[in-house]
Structure 1
Amino acid sequence: MGKELVTAVFSPHDRVLFRRRVRRGLDALTGMLEEGRIEAGDRTTGLEIEINLVDAEAAPAMRNAEVLADLADPRFQLELGRFNLELNVPPRSLAGDGLGDYEREILQALRAAGDSARKRETRLILIGMLPTLTAGQLVLGDISDHERFRALDAEIAGARGDAFRIDIQGPERLRTSSDTIAPEGACTSAQFHLRVAPADFARYWNASQAIAGVQLALGANAPFLYRRRLWAETRIPFFEQATDPRPDEFAAQGVRPRVWFGDRWIDSILDLYEENVRYFPPLLPELGEEDPVAVLAAGGIPELPELRLHNGTVYRWNRPVYDVTGGRPHLRVENRVLPSGPTVADMLANAAFYFGLVRQLAEEDPPLWTCLDFAAAEAGFRTGARDGIEARLFWPGFGEVPVTDLVRDVLLPRAHSGLDRYGVHPAHRDRFLGIIEDRCRTRRNGAAWQCETVRTVQERGLDRAVALREMTQRYLEFQRTNEPVHTWPI
């Protein structure tokens, strides 16, 4: 979510100074990389999980501040919508029982949060987009009471100067508009963090981009919004359109969107930071006290507050992260592709597949991306989001193939090898990658289960709104079992 802002009213002078500070931060980061001042460190991982709150009727419950106050757990934070929370899971190594430790900690944290939610007559649900949401529940008054969210809304809406227009064509079509970024609260994700050595960053980022379409096809869990069936992972086009600050004429001129896949493979993390500085004006020009170049010259480690804040307002699907922990700087790839849910087991299966496959691909020669056009990777990203488990994706050496065949025949063996490189215990490796294999075998992920269930309920003569509510109630019950979604009955 990010820190509380000191001020949310910015002058033109603030913006000029902020741009200078961002560029000075970029100079400091360049110097640190050239001098080898950023540590390789261990390949630790981290998870962020976004959560929705619902009432007894499975409708959004706008009580996140009350639940958070009762919970009093620093791992949980507010998110944009008043019905959203975020769980930040402390980072760890995957070696040995790392995946099992993740599962135990996440389940324990969700149980505690569930207890606090019940005191407010709410329940937790892990899902890409809450199917019972209506447009009237995503308005300015439903943004969480946090200075950063209010400032973001003012800046993005002000930059656009017009309503945000949504137009998504799936099996059904959604056309709507909003004068606020509040609809972004409909998008709830699971984000994976992977710490990498500076020299390896480009390989890991490129590998993450290359498999984004596969990730979406396997993990799609957001087929419904505003009672319409849209993409298997509607979160992707909706987030892009609901937070696009470009006026129409800027988009027509080719100005980059702030929610961005990118347009090329990279050779260094600096490629991404330099693009961010070149293409995107500041949204939150909050000024710190640090002179990063002076800190570096004095032998210290700069925090780079302006560069990091600016980077946090460019919403790449795979984002670069510079961070300092205990006075020690490091780099991470933040993988932001996947939705939340359906269960903790499903999310950790997605994580195991991502961490294992990316490591294997990043360390293979020749690199995959030398024979994969970047435009083909982006096309696969959109195809995976649109078609989900039924997607057909291009892969070098195989052409266009069903994603389920690609994963079972080509990618799962690589994910196994990558997890072995981390030293993951074979029992955890086999269990979580087995979930991915069975998901491919049954051709059922979260989006497929939701669509099948709603269709079955509607065949009994019930309308879409009732069917969505009944499906969401079932989803809540099955989620509590932590049994993977491909085993859920219809």
Structure 2
Amino acid sequence: MGNLNVIKLNKKRDKANYIYHLSKDIEALDRMINEDLIEKAPIRIGAEQEFCIVDNAFLPNNNAIAILKDIDDTHFTTEIGNYNLEINLDPIELETNCFSKMHTQLITLMEKAKISAKKHHSKIVLTGILPTLSLKHISINNMAPIQRYYVLNDAVKESRKQDFNIHIKGVDELNLLHDSVMLEGCNTSFQSHLQMNPETFVEDYNWAQAIYGPILSVCTNSPLLFGKELWSETRIALFTQSVDTASKFIFT
């Protein structure tokens, strides 16, 4: 979406210009809804698959950019950690064998990733949180060398006005004070997308909220973080505390 050349807004004039353009975006959306300009059919599905890159000892391998260049496929993109990558699948019409098509494309693209990773003495792993992650892997030195991630880090830190205070209690308890948003680099996932008809958006949103609990209960994939056994799905607490601009959370 657009280009990825971002800068931190420091001057009041730049911030005011940003708010102006943001307001125009909202006005444009409002007009599209009122004038029936949003596509209603066909309905499509899509998905993202994030994955970890590890060495032969299954430790995070800090070479995502090199592997991305070798893959040379626009379906792939970076994540905040230089040991993660993401696949964006093509949108597919929601009909007949659409899920089989999605599965086939995902397997094909994952195979490309495996082949390129092998060239760089690496493997790929699908997991919610890589169990072998340690504190040294979430330093800013392991952030993907992309401008927007550094801007994000600076902006969130400035908004919070303090370091990231992580407190998650499960079977074990984790208390951690960290100085960057690289905590978010611990999380990977498979995210499915469903196109919505604007006329039924409220109803669709409500049923999505109603079913997300049961769906989450069968998708848990991150019980371990930094050697601690926490939630069955620790990504929830970790994501909230690592990117939210509120100052303090305690999750038990």
User: SS of 1:166's equivalent?
Assistant: strand
How far did 1:2 drift? 7.5
Residue 104, structure 1, aligned to residue 104, structure 2: yes
Q: What do the CA deviations read for 1:221-267 (whole angstroms, capped 9, x no partner)?
A: 0000000110011000011011122235xx8xxxxxxxxxxxxxxxx
User: SS of 1:114's equivalent?
Assistant: helix
Greater Rg by CA: 1
Count, aligned residues: 251
In structure 1, what is the equivalent of residue 118 of structure 2? 118
Which one-letter code corresponds to 2:140 in the other structure? L
1:227-376 to structure 2, matched below 5 A, reads 227-248=227-248
In structure 2, what is the equivalent of residue 193 of structure 1? 193
User: SS of 1:4's equivalent?
Assistant: coil
In structure 1, what is the equivalent of residue 210 of structure 2? 210
In structure 2, what is the equivalent of residue 72 of structure 1? 72
Q: Distance in 1 between matches of 2:240 and 2:28?
A: 31
Compare the two structures and name the one with the higher helix fraction: 1
Q: Distance in 1 between matches of 2:9 and 2:39?
A: 37
How far did 1:22 drift? 1.3
**Are the equivalent residues in 1 in contact too, given 2:49–2:190 (CA < 8 A)?**
yes
Which one-letter code corresponds to 1:82 in the other structure? N
Distance 1:161 1:4, change over 3 A: same
How far did 1:24 drift? 2.2
In structure 2, what is the equivalent of residue 25 of structure 1? 25
In structure 2, what is the equivalent of residue 144 of structure 1? 144
Runs (4 or more) in structure 1 with deviation over 4 Å come to none
Q: What do the CA deviations read for 1:351-387 (whole angstroms, capped 9, x no partner)?
A: xxxxxxxxxxxxxxxxxxxxxxxxxxxxxxx9xxx8x
Normalised by the length of structure 2, the TM-score is 0.95
In structure 2, what is the equivalent of residue 452 of structure 1? none
**Are the equivalent residues in 2 in contact too, given 1:3–1:148 (CA < 8 A)?**
no
1:374-453 to structure 2, matched below 5 A, reads none
Normalised by the length of structure 1, the TM-score is 0.50
Which one-letter code corresponds to 2:115 in the other structure? D
Which one-letter code corresponds to 2:208 in the other structure? S
**Are the equivalent residues in 2 in contact too, given 1:165–1:177 (CA < 8 A)?**
yes
How far did 1:166 drift? 0.5
Q: Distance in 1 between matches of 2:2 and 2:230?
A: 31
Structure of greater relative contact order (alpha carbons < 8 Å, 6+ residues apart): 2
Residue 162, structure 1, aligned to residue 162, structure 2: yes
Q: Distance in 2 between matches of 1:3 and 1:68?
A: 18
Which one-letter code corresponds to 1:219 in the other structure? C
**Are the equivalent residues in 2 in contact too, given 1:79–1:85 (CA < 8 A)?**
yes
**Are the equivalent residues in 2 in contact too, given 1:39–1:197 (CA < 8 A)?**
yes
In structure 2, what is the equivalent of residue 12 of structure 1? 12
Which one-letter code corresponds to 1:210 in the other structure? A
Distance 1:171 1:6, change over 3 A: closer
Residue 56, structure 1, aligned to residue 56, structure 2: yes
User: SS of 2:36's equivalent?
Assistant: coil
Percent identity over paired residues:
29
How far did 1:196 drift? 1.6
Q: What is the RMSD computed on CA atoms of the aligned residues? A: 1.7
Unaligned runs of 5+ in 2: none
How far did 1:3 drift? 3.8
Which one-letter code corresponds to 2:144 in the other structure? S
Q: What do the CA deviations read for 1:190-209 (whole angstroms, capped 9, x no partner)?
A: 11111121101121122112
User: SS of 1:86's equivalent?
Assistant: strand
**Are the equivalent residues in 2 in contact too, given 1:8–1:147 (CA < 8 A)?**
no
How far did 1:81 drift? 0.2
